[in-house]
Amino acid sequence: MTTFIISIVLLIVGYIVYGKVVERIFGINDDQETPAYSRNDGMDYMPMSWWKGSLIQLLNIAGTGPIFGAILGALYGPIAFVWIVIGCIFAGAVHDYFSGMMSLRHGGAQFPSLVGRYLGKYAKILTTILSICLMILVAAAFTAAPAQLISSLTPLSFTACLLVIFAYLLLAAVLPVNRIIGKVYPVFGAILIFMAVSIGIGMFFFEEPIPNLTFSNLHPGELPIWPLLMVTISCGAISGFHSTQSPIIARTLKKESEGRKVFYGAMIGEGVIALVWAAAGMTFFGSTGALQTALDAGGPGGVVNEISISTLGVFGGLLAIMGIVILPITTGDTALRSSRMMLAELLGQLTKTDMMKKKGTLALLIIPVALPALFLSMIDYNFLWRYVGWSNQVVATVMLWTGAMYLLKNHKFHWICSIPALFMTAVVSTYVFYAPEGFSMDYGISMLLGGIIWVAVAAWFIRKLISQKSQDKYQITESKAG
């Protein structure tokens, strides 16, 4: 119990203290006109109040991610609390802040364009491909689960449910941001918060107390904590998907000082939600072994349903069903929306035309993502989710390196991005060799190969540091000579 309460307090303090540090290092300027005004197009660029933006951002980045991922991460025991707190404050919230504020500073640019500007054109090409693939995987994964639940509760078949959901996704992704997203999604964001608060209060009445911190690995399958926990709990700690969503809200901010509340704050909120559901998973079933049995029987959705009904009664069951159906769908449609923005930006750069003004073309840009997403949503959900996890964290790592290079080139304290970037580089490098969806190698060999990649990336960054210092010295010399 004590560990859980301290973890909540640390997240709040992290927002108040470290969030302000990050904001000061980035350097805000409220006198600078934001893209919401300078590029107002009545579609994606338009001013929106910060509180609406915060709730929409929370919903876009969260969905069921910090619920399902946290429950799966609870299998490792209270060590999951440590990763959520540290990851959220020093990596995830920093990642979200920079992905949103750098987009705002560059006219609402999408994530791949930011990568291209600071890591080079080849990195941009690879990131564009990886980001769109991630959008396809997310749209598929976050559509399959609610379709399965709806089909089990209604006479509709799974395929019919998928088609209905995808019809909605297409509509929401092409309508102006203030039509559905701006009006309805703040309500869904409030539901997400209400679920977490209700379960958080209900946990104090569970038969078993919330376990306190132990560094022992309690996973019943004896899976290693490193690097699996860091990929299992992504939403709630750090998630690359967020870097594709932040530009949606960056295009609606009225002033730069709102960025900390919207981007850093929403990630801290997601961390609190993840803590609540991780604690509920550890506590409700009495042991990680019993939690694994429940997951085997009904999956994360079944676990959420059982905890909600037992804690909040029939109302809790209805709330859980709403969450499992509505929250993933809202993530799916913003995934399609952001992919549409990426393709429009890429196509506009190739054709030298403003694709934002071609409304019919914008609708057509959804199809290359929607069709493969619809196909993938029909395959095994667990297989699909594993690939979402790794690609998600690779994107997060690239975004952190982009933020580090932005700070380095602007002569600012880059370590707030480069240290978590180095950490996540080690995570994804080791994971790809060890995980079943990777090369399924021996753990020791995976650690060795991951370490080699980490050294190579670290050496690349050191060269960048040396190059930047040399360039700065040259400029100072030239200035004095002039």
- Homologous superfamily, domain 2-396: Amino acid/polyamine transporter I (1.20.1740.10)
Two structure tokens written together for 394: 């690779």
Which helix (H) or strand (E) segment holds residue 442: the answer is none
In this structure, are residues 430 and 450 in contact, taking their beta carbons and an 8 Å threshold? yes
Q: Which amino acid is at 422?
A: L
- Which one-letter DSSP state was computed for residue 441? -
CB atoms within 10 A of CB 353: 12
Contact 384, 376 (CB under 8 A): yes
Q: What angle in degrees, to the nearest 10, is found between the helix axes of 93-105 and 265-284? A: 150
Burial 393-409, CB ≥16 within 10 A → b, else e: bbbbbbbbbbbbbbbbe
CB 366 within 8 A of CB 340: yes
How many CA atoms, within 13 angstroms, populate the side-chain half-sphere of residue 180?
13
pLDDT score at 477: 63
Asked whether the beta carbons of 236 and 58 are under 8 A apart, the reply is no
d(CA 476, CA 90): 33
pLDDT averaged per 10 residues, the chain (length 482):
94 98 97 95 91 90 84 96 98 98 95 93 86 84 80 86 87 80 82 84 85 92 94 93 93 97 97 95 93 89 85 79 78 83 74 56 71 81 71 94 96 97 97 90 97 97 90 65 55
Q: What is the pLDDT of residue 360?
A: 54
Tokens (6 digits) for 157: 């078949």
pLDDT at residue 187, rounded to an integer: 83
Helices (H) and strands (E) in the chain, counts: 20, 0
Distance between CA 277 and CA 418 in Å, rounded?
Answer: 30
Least Cα distance to 190 among 323, 312, 9 occurs for: 323
Q: Give dist(CA 240, CA 92) in Å, integer.
A: 9
Token digits of residue 260:
């900390």
Tell me which residue has tokens 């006219």. 107
Reference 344, options 332, 360, 327; nearest CA is 360
Q: What are phi and psi of 221, to 5 degrees?
A: -90, 5
Note whether 112 and 128 are within 8 A (CB).
yes
The SS3 of residue 99 is helix
Alpha-carbon span 20 to 61, nearest angstrom = 21
Relative orientation angle of helices 288-351 and 265-284, to the nearest 10 degrees? 150
Q: Domain boundaries in the chain? A: 2-396
Output the pLDDT for position 475: 67
pLDDT for res 482: 54
Measure the CA angle with vertex 258, ends 253 and 261; round to 5°.
Answer: 120
Question: Residue 21's pLDDT is what?
Answer: 98
Sorted by sequence, the CB contacts under 8 Å of residue 420 that are 6+ apart come out as 90, 91, 94, 95, 238, 400
Closest of 397, 380, 385 to residue 111, by C-alpha:
397
Sign of CA dihedral 434, 285, 142, 338: negative
Task: Please report how many Cα atoms fall inside a 13 Å half-sphere around the Cα of residue 125, on the Cβ side.
Answer: 3
Q: What is the C-alpha to C-alpha distance for residues 219 and 237, in angstroms, rounded to an integer?
A: 19
**Residue 91 token pair:** 């990596």
CA distance 69 to 241: 14
- 3-class SS letters over 211-273: CCCCCCCCCCCCCCHHHHHHHHCCCCCCCCHHHHHHHHHHCCCCCHHHHHHHHHHHHHHHHHH
SS (H, E, C) 297-310: HHHHHHHHHHHHHH
CA 330 to chain centre: 14
Instruction: Identify the CA nearest to 304 among candidates 382, 387, 140, 192.
Output: 192
